[in-house]
Structures are given as structure tokens and as C-alpha cells.
A and B are shown apart, each in its own frame.
Chain A
Amino acid sequence: MSLGYQTPRSMSSDRLRKFASGLPVRFLVLLIALVWTLPSAGLLVSSLRPPIDITSSGWWTVFAHPFEASVWTVENYEQVLTTHGLGNAFLNSVLVTVPSVVIPITIAAFAAYAFAWLEFPGRKLLFIVVVGLMVVPLQMSLIPLLRLYTQLDLNGTFLGVWLAHTGFGLPLAVFLLFGYISTLPGEIIESARVDGASPLTTFTRLVLPLSVPVVASFAIFQFLWVWNDLLVALIFLGTKEEVAVITARLAALVGRRGEQWHVLTAGAFVSMAVPLLVFFLLQRYFVRGLTAGSVKG
């Protein structure tokens, strides 16, 4: 069946038969896609309904009168962004995420370059250690770090979270960037050295510009990881309104007001807005980043 478009010049009756036999498959795939989308669709529709409607009738009932203005509202979004502090939490998420993506990439790129192209004692062993650490559950780090942070007064600070995300993301970042940087052609790096370029110049002028694709892939993976993270944010930042990120805030809203659906539905979509935007705009890189980053501990 799948040969249908691998050998497009097959006989037309053959094609017709293939098309017919493909119909159930098409239907099945469509059904799967629909089932997969329904839960999110329900939440999106609900977030745009008046609070009373959400709890008094199923979200699918709006499709009986989809063009009546009274069934739709954006008030839920206004409310969560202002009175429930999600606007603030959204800002906090941005504040946590940007440095938590940039810092590990920078540090990992320098290290990956050294592992790939500089000679130093212990190079092999250290790299094996880094690869081994990739799958260590971050739960192993939480308690000692929390105590260290208490001593340093870093608990509940953005700086503490940036460094934590940097630490947890580094092994994977080094591994991924190494995989790419080590395959750059040796001649160009050698010729730069012969021309008198220092390792630093070689790195900033040559290696880094050539590594943009892998940096982009890792950046997207790390962005999603940090933006969607709950555990690290809960432990090192907490749920206080001034610092809490959007996932932590949402989790607190679920706990406190279990059934306030107009708040939860709109809130959930506010938190998803940025990753979904990345998803639709950068799907190709997004896929690469996720696939590449899938082994993280």
C-alpha cells in the first residue's frame, strides 16, 4: 500500500484499488487524531464560556448555537491574568526560562568544543562521566541542593533556579553539542590553528557559527523543559506570588479551588500559549530538539 507513492507510475487501476483499500486507514487515522484533540478542544471551548455555563452544561452543547454572542466570553482570561496573578506568574516564567536556556547552552558549547578538539588529561573519562550523569534522576540532587541553597540564601531566588536548571541540563547539552561539534571537518579547525588563531578565536569565530542548528534544537528542548517544569520550580522558587512560575501557580489553583473551571481552563491555556506558539512556528526544529533531548534524566 505504501508503495503507492514510492512508485508513482504504477497502473491507474492499481492506483484506484490502492486508494480504495486506503480508505479505512484514512478513516482510522482521522479518528485517532480526533480522539487525541478532543480533550484539549473541550478545555479551549470551555475557557471561552461564561462561568455559569461551564458548570451547568457540557462544552459540546455550545455547538447547538455557536453563533449566539451570549455563549462566548473572554472574561475568564481577563480574570485569571489580573485577580488570580497568572499575568505575574507568566512574567516569572519568562524570567526563569530565558537565562535557564541561554546559560547552559553557552557553558555546554565551550565544554563540548574542548571535549571534541582540545587535548587535556582525563578527557575521555570526564566525558564518560558526563554521559553517565545524563540519566541520573534529578531527585538525587534536590535535598542536598536545598540545604546548600539555604546556607547561601538562594532559596526562592531566580538566580538559584537558573543555576539549578543549568546544572540539570548540562550533561545532555554537552553530549548533544559534542555529537555535532566533533563531526565538524578537522581540516578547517587545524588550518585556523596554523593561521595563528587561539582556541578562543577558533571557537567564537568558527565553531559556534557552524553549530547554530544543534544549538537551536537544544534551545527548543531546554525551553520546553524549563517552561513546563513544575518540580524544580516548586522546590527552589516555591508558590509565593512574587516568584511563582505559571505551572506552580496553576498547580496551586487546582489544589485550592478544585472546581473553579472558568479559572482553570483559561489559566491552563495561558500557560500553554507560548509552547504552542513554538510548536506551530518551529515544528521542524521542535521535533529535532525533542528527539535529540529525549534521554534527559
Chain B
Amino acid sequence: MATSASAETPRSPALTRLTAGPLRVLVSLIVPAITFLVLRWAFIFMRDTEADRISIAIVALIIGVGGVWALYLVTDNLVSILPEGIRETVRPFVFVGPALVIIAVYLVYPAVRTVSLSFFGPRSEEFVGLQNYAFALTSDDMLLALRNNVLWLIFVTSFVVSLGLIIAVLSDRIGRWEPIAKSFVFLPMAISAVGASIIWKFVYSFQPIQRPQIGLLNAVFTALGGDPQGWLILKPWNNFFLIVIMIWILTGFAMVVLSAAIKGVPGELLEAARMDGASEIRIFFGVIVPYIRGTLITITTTVLIMVLKVFDIVFVMTGGQFDTEVIANRMYREMFTFGNFGRSSALAVILLVAVIPIMIYNVRSLEQSRR
């Protein structure tokens, strides 16, 4: 059993002596037991502690970095004492097992459970059939939220992709200023949606008519002769003022990715088109766009997924009031404000159904790339 053990990994001499003999089996059982106890203690410590932040931070880092590593080293060692025949069959699961367990607990099990909860009432006690879906697809509140989500999907996606593409093409032509100009457009991508919402709340801020306006939009609007407006309560246009925020955040992202793709268009291809006397506009639609088609599809689907789940912006700006509700915010409110887990689950399932085509597309392209 212990014969091939020392060939495993280079160890310090003391450790080799300890692990080479029959002691190895004992060590292999005690070490995991100790590891388990330490992890358990750390778990309870971090869960129940009233200790100060710094000591939690230290324990956290030790567990976060060291604990996870220890887990792998210990289980790998445990596998090494298995009979030779099955040892190498089991070993891959030491590597892949923890990831699979976490994915199962955090994604697969909850998804199945959410689907089943969506057929139950608010407290998940009585079966209600499709009632939650009837609510989600026919009630006035939800029809409004669905309409708003469609607005978000259409306007954010189309503006982000086309603006990103236009800025990428234009900045490709300004020489050495390109990186700086692009940085400024890209910068909002580093900011949280909460931070961005505060920035824009300030832009939209409203003061009564006789006072000086402190919001940029009202200042410009009144300078042009208009009366100051409460943009965020101006139905239904307030939806568009929220949509602008997400366009502002995501355009830089589309620009950066598309810009990289545009730089990949072969110079000879452009040269040949110019030789044939094609205009710049024709070259753009006839050469550049077809060449970067794959990237355009990726960007579009990515933006669609992000927009579909939009939550933070609406949560911070209006809380879904004034007819600005969207699915993800409503889901949060059903869960925490109304305590209706059935409806909340049904809304999550609707979000899932909406991404299933993209999921299938991803899996297909994975299988194609493998052939």
C-alpha cells in the first residue's frame, strides 16, 4: 500500500520518513481529521463570532487561501492510500469534486427548487398550479414591468452596440489620442451601478422653479427656456432616463471589445476595397461589419443578459416606483417586501426562460469548437 507513496511528491526528509512506513495510513487519517476540525472551528468562529473585524479578517484570509488548499492536499493524500487499482480512477474527482459540489449546491439544486416553489403559494405551503405565472404574465403591475424590461432590452442593447461600434471606428482614426479618449468612455465600467446611479441622480436633480438648478439636465433645460422637471417621476419618460445610465455604463465595454476586433481586420482587405473605389461608409458595412460579425453577436448576447437582470439601477433610482418597475426588482420586492416566495420564484423562472436560447447557443458553439 505504501510502496509507491514516496514517488508521489518531493517531500522533506522528515515527512518522507513519517509517511513512507505503515505510519502513513495513520497520518493519512489523522491529518484529515485535524483539518476537518480546524475548518469546522473556523466555520463556527466566523459564523458566530463577536470578535473584532481584524481577527475575523485574519482567520478569513487563512481559511480562504490556506483552508481551501489544505482541503485539496489532504484529500489527495487520502486518495493515495487507496488500493492501486482504483486510486487513479478516484483522483480526478479530488480535483473536480469541490467545484462540482459547490455548483450543485449553489446553482443546480436552487434552480430545481425555485422551479418547484414557483408552483406553490406565498409561504410555499399550498400548491397553486400556474397561479403565480398567471400573475406574472397578466396582472397590470407585471405587464408594466414586462413592458419596461422590453424597453430596456431594446434601447440599451441597440444603443450600446451601435454607439460602441461608432466610437470604436471613429477613435481608430484619431491616432495617438485614441487610448485616452477610449479610457474616458470606458471608465464608467469600473463604477458600481450604485455609484453610477448616484452620479446620474445628481444629473437629474430637481429644484423648485425660483431656485438655481444644481442638476446638469435641469440647468441646460432651463437655460434653453424650459421649466425645471422632476425627470425621475415624469412617466413614462423616466424609464428612458434610467436606461441612459446603463447605456453610459456599458458603451465603453462594447467599444473596447469591438475596437480590438476592428483592429483585427486585415489592412489588405480595406486597401483592396478602397482601390475598388468603395466609400468609407460602404467599407464599414461591406467589409468591417461582416468581418467582426462574431464579436458583434457575442457583445449583443452579453449585453442582453446583463440588461435582462437589471436591478441595482432601478432599486437605487426609483425603487420601481413611478411606473419604472422591472422584473428583477419586482422579484426582490416580492421576496423581501411582500414575502411572497411563490411569485418571486415564478419571476426568477421567467428570467431563466429568457436566457435559455443563449444557453443553447453557447453549448452548441462549444460542441462545434471541439470537433
Contact = CB atoms under 8 A, between A and B. Distances in A.
B184 A33 contact: yes
Nearest to A34: B184
B47 A157 contact: yes
Nearest to B95: A114
Given A25-B174, A279-B187, A295-B298, 18 more contacts: A6-B267, A29-B174, A39-B216, A95-B56, A99-B61, A106-B68, A108-B99, A120-B93, A133-B107, A224-B190, A228-B194, A229-B192, A231-B332, A254-B198, A265-B202, A268-B195, A295-B301, A297-B305
Interface stretch (A55-63, A70-78, A209-217): A55-63
B202 A110 contact: no
16 contacts: A34-B184, A37-B187, A57-B212, A95-B60, A107-B68, A114-B92, A139-B331, A143-B345, A144-B117, A166-B106, A198-B9, A227-B192, A234-B332, A275-B192, A276-B187, A294-B253
A32 B102 CA distance: 44
B102 A170 contact: yes
Interface residues of A, number: 124
Nearest to B109: A144
A98 B64 contact: yes
A138 B95 CA distance: 25
Contacts of B347: 139
Nearest to A145: B110
A40 B188 contact: yes
Q: Is the interface of A mostly helix, strand, loop or mixed?
A: helix
B194 A250 contact: yes
B315 interface: yes
A43 B199 contact: yes
Interface string A78-116: 000000000000010011001100110011101101110
A188 interface: no
Size category of the B interface is 35 or more
Given A42-B216, A57-B212, A224-B190, A203 B60 contact: no
Q: Is the interface of B mostly helix, strand, loop or mixed?
A: helix
Nearest to B212: A57
B72 interface: yes
Interface string A246-262: 01001100110001010
Contacts of A203: 95
Contacts of A265: 198, 202
Interface in A265-297: 265, 267-268, 271-272, 275-276, 278-279, 283, 286-287, 290-291, 294-295, 297
Contact of B9 (A25, A201, A287): A201
B363 A131 contact: yes
Contacts of B193: 228, 230
